[in-house]
Amino acid sequence: MVFSKENLLAALRCVEANRGAPGVDGMTTEELRPWIAQNWPSVWAELDAGTYQPAPVRRVTIPKPNGGERMLGVPRVLDRLIQQAIAQALVPVFDLHFSGASFGFRPGRSAHQAVKVGKRAIEDGNCWAVDLDLDKFFDRVNHDALMARVARRVEDKKVLKLIRRYLEAGIMADGAVVASDEGTPQGSPFSPLLSNIMLDDLDRELFKRSLRFVRYADDVMIFVRSERAANRVLESVTTFIEMRLKLKVNREKCKAAPAFKVSLLGFGYYRSGGKGPVKIRIDRKAVHRLKKTVRTITSSTPAVDRDLHACLPLAWSKSLQATGQELSRVGAEVCGGSVDEAVVCGPCGVLRCGEFLDALGGIDHVVGGDDHRLRGGVDRRVGHEEPQRNQRVGDGGAGDVRLGSQFFQLIVAGAA
């Protein structure tokens, strides 16, 4: 039941935990619960009668790592609550039928798993890759095509009508509401689910052709055995996407290339000396972005650089808390997962991502040696006579990378 008490309370807790910026009405997540306590009967009456009208989303632009801008749509917090409740009810209905090669925004699945599946495909002799780029996927989804796919498993007419209204709610940009005739705004709680529903037909088509592939939301990579097969698959799959799914493929960015020369979700593949087992590396662009961001973050906390002893009182300073939070976010983004999958801590930037960080090794060079000075100050502060050197611990080559264990504990405590 979408609007059962249990589902709504779970959705409310999720929206509050995610926080996020206000929508067009300016209401914050902290204000949502008391507002709901007073106004939910009237909202429920509209939902039950099928007359509820969602508010337009607030248009926000953020820079892309490789240049350009990404358009996001921020719903008001009440609509985020309702969308979250819908998503929680529909995920179990659809996820059971999704492809095993789909890893984006699904329970128990991650970008790291997708990269490992690509590795196995290469190990099995599929050494050519077809890298597909769907041009502005979230902005170009055809509403009729999407709703037809949702209706395959959802029979409740009120829920279908409500989803359609959310798709057509419009966008508030520069004080004016712009109609949304196509697309599903990135930023809404159920847009990831809708993207998987839309692209499930692509997964089924690729399986029907017995192709090895990996999909993470709208990132698709197909692995084949030869250059000739790669070019043929690129052309035929592009035609299927444009004709059957009514989506646009960016032909300039799509390519057929050797699997060792492409990047998947910020990672690549290689063989040492051209021989031996296939290994995973972090894409050079991702490493460069990490280094640049860590330098920026650490240089913005001069108190740490001037006197580490003085800046660690019993109550954490806001600058250190912000540093821990920001580095955790950056590490998760670079490593293609969540903050839980990529732990980043301290001004030196510590990532714990198993085998995915073997390519990085130590990260002292990221901040030009500041790691030793900062870590030494913390270690002496907490009672260690000598600074601890970098350690690699864990099970062999897939072990964790840890730098400055005391700073790790303090930063995580401050960021939590």
Q: In terms of pLDDT, which residue wins out, 409 or 59?
A: 59
Is 60 exceeded by the pLDDT of residue 234?
yes
Percent of the chain with pLDDT over 90: 52
Average pLDDT along the chain: 77
**Between the CA of residue 202 and those of 91, 102, 259, what are the distances in Å?**
19, 11, 21
> Which of 220, 284, 217, 225 has its CA nearest to residue 259?
225
- Whether residue 385 is predicted with pLDDT greater than 50 in this model: the reply is no
pLDDT tier, 356 (very low <50, low <70, confident <90, very high otherwise): very low
Q: What is the pLDDT of residue 273?
A: 77
**CB of 383 closer than 8 Å to CB of 306:** no
Summarize the confidence of residues 118-140 as an average pLDDT. 93
Please tell me the predicted confidence (pLDDT) of residue 376.
Answer: 41
Phi, psi of 299 (to 5 degrees): -75, -15
Whether the pTM exceeds 0.85: the reply is no
What is the spatial distance between Cα 150 and Cα 163, in angstroms, rounded to a whole number? 9
The string over 96-133, giving b where at least 16 C-beta atoms fall within 10 Å of a residue's C-beta and e elsewhere, is eebbebbbbbbeebbbbebbbbbbebbeeebbbbbbbb
Instruction: Name which of 95, 93, 111 is nearest 103 in CA terms.
Output: 111
Secondary structure (3-state) at 209: coil
Q: Looking up tokens 């990085």, which residue turns up?
A: 360
CA 104, 110, 115, 117 torsion-angle sign: negative
299: pLDDT confidence band, cut at 50, 70 and 90? low
Residue identified by tokens 């990996």 is 214
Instruction: Give the residue from 35, 48, 39 showing the smallest Cα distance to 77.
Output: 35
| pLDDT-derived band at 365, boundaries 50, 70, 90 | very low
3-state SS, one letter per residue, for 268-307: EEECHHHCCCCEEEECHHHHHHHHHHHHHHHHCCHHHHHC
Query: How many CB atoms are located within 10 Å of the residue 171 CB?
Result: 19
Quick check: helix, strand or coil at residue 349? coil
Q: Assign residue 305 a region: left if phi > 0, alpha if psi is -120 to 50, beta otherwise?
A: alpha
8-state DSSP, 181? S
**Does position 340 have pLDDT exceeding 80, yes or no?**
no
User: Quick one: average pLDDT of 218-236?
Assistant: 96
pLDDT tens digits, one per residue of 163-175: 999 999 988 877 7
Distance CA 36, CA 28 (A): 12
- Give the per-residue pLDDT at 64: 73
Helix (H, G, I), strand (E, B) or coil at 9: helix
User: Mean pLDDT, to the nearest integer, of 348-374?
Assistant: 43
Spatial contact of 390 and 346, defined as CB atoms under 8 Å apart: no
Q: CB under 8 Å to 85, separation ≥6 — which residues? A: 2, 3, 7, 8, 11
Number of residues written out for the chain:
416
pLDDT tens digits along 243-264:
999 999 998 889 999 999 999 9
Strands (DSSP E) contained in 259-399 are: 267-270, 279-282, 391-393
Confidence grade of residue 329 (pLDDT, cut at 50, 70, 90): low
